[in-house]
Amino acid sequence: MRRAILSAAVAVGVFGGVGAAAASAATTVVADHLARPRGLAVAPDGTLYASLLGNGGRPCNREGCFGASGRVVRVGRDGRLTTVASGLLTMRGRPDGFFSIGADQLTVLPDGRLATAVTAEFNINRTPPAAVPHPLRPQVGHVVLFEPGGGKQVGANIADVEYRLDPDGKGAVSNPYGITTLDGVIYVSDSAANDLLVVDGPDVGVLATFPDPVPNTDAVPDALAAGPDGALYVGEFTGGAQPRGAARIWRVVPGQPPTLFASGLTSITSLAFGPDGSLYATEFGPGDVVRIAPDGSRSVLAAGTLHFPGGIAVAPDGTVFVTNWTVASSTPATKGRLKGRTGQIVRIS
């Protein structure tokens, strides 16, 4: 589904999760005036990292404006940001920030490096458009790895699997989005290809393909997290008609078919596990966090206080961090639905 992520839920105005009780939770702004913050990741020592898409750049074409404004930052306890990696490709799809895509999510590898996956959704005939600056073209559709102290390396070609195999049979469109690691292996969810991929060095294989939730929709599996039970969990944004409650979470054990873990959610953008085994899911359109406890019970956190959340991470002490106003720039908008807003990272007690 082209341009499904961080757009369709707003376009049709979906609201509310399903089957979850409201829970009181206070939110505190950790960092503000951020340029389109998306993914979050927490290292074992509690260090928080965030991916920022930035403001895109030049040149532009009918798809959007391309530039090297994407970066990964370390977030200090005082909210100060330290750049870990810069020069990541971003496409700003519209002046208000909606449809912006790039290196959206993050994971911390066992050796301390970080990894992200860069979209290829804007490719035409499997090739980046001329508007993508030449130095950034190697990133398109690839995993990018970087050291916490700086420096980055382009890794496996994720999009190539979609172009060669088209596992869902819906046409060759690739938007690598979610990324995680399990037992030292990297996994990537391709939200446009509707599949989950396993990365072994330069080699990439298809682990699972996800069916449409209801007619006239796509699964759009964007959110991805590794569970404490040795399984992978994949959340759907859903594309097309965007019916309320259509998004699902799948449980995938490598080597086995995916099984349904949870349903009745709406426009999931990210997943993360807490130290007690609870799974947390951000819902983009409703603007909240759904917590699914180990016994299956659900509660909604921060309902009414989040707006277009796009990333989530849980610290070893159970503190929940979420990116908020993820389509907003670092400079407050002067009009429109984002008037006066900038990107944020918030903490949920």
Whole-angstrom distance, CA of residue 300 vs CA of residue 294: 15
Report how many helices (DSSP H) and strands (DSSP E) the chain contains, helices first. 2, 27
Task: Please report which residue ranges of the chain form alpha helices under DSSP H.
Answer: 8-12, 159-165
- Residue pLDDT, tens place only, 297-330: 999 999 989 999 999 999 999 999 999 999 999 9
| DSSP notation for 20-83 | -EEE---EEEEEEEESSEEEEEE-TT--EEEEE-TT--S-B-SS-EEEEEEEEEEE-TTS-EEE
Mean per-residue pLDDT for 3-8?
Answer: 47
Do 17 and 247 form a contact (C-beta atoms < 8 A)? no
Q: What is the pLDDT of residue 22?
A: 63
pLDDT in tens, 86-134: 999 999 887 777 889 999 999 999 999 999 999 999 998 899 999 999 9
pLDDT-derived band at 139 (thresholds 50, 70, 90) equals very high
First to last CA, the chain: 35
Q: Could you give the percent of the chain with pLDDT greater than 90? A: 79
- Other CB atoms within 10 A of residue 160 CB: 15
Residue type, 256: Q
Question: Do residues 291 and 23 lie in contact, with contact meaning Cβ atoms separated by under 8 Å?
Answer: yes
| pLDDT at residue 17, as a whole number | 44
Q: Note the pLDDT of residue 93.
A: 82
Two tokens at 174?
């690739």
For β-strands 221-226 and 239-240, DSSP reports them as unpaired
Going by pLDDT thresholds of 50, 70 and 90, the confidence category of residue 28 is: very high
Question: What's the fold here for domain 41-298?
Answer: Neuraminidase (2.120.10)
151-175 confidence digits (pLDDT tens): 899 999 999 999 999 999 999 999 9
* Neighbouring C-beta atoms of residue 215, cutoff 10 Å: 8
Q: Is pLDDT at 8 greater than 60 in this prediction?
A: no
Which two tokens mark 258? 């995916």
Evaluate if pTM is beyond 0.75. yes
Whether 200 contacts 211, CB under 8 Å: no
* pLDDT attached to residue 4: 46
CB 119 within 8 A of CB 102: yes
pLDDT value of residue 222: 97
Is the predicted pLDDT of residue 223 greater than 80, yes or no?
A: yes
The pLDDT of 210-218, averaged and rounded, is 88
What pLDDT is attached to residue 226? Answer: 98
pLDDT one-digit tens code per residue, 170-200: 999 999 999 999 999 999 999 999 999 999 9
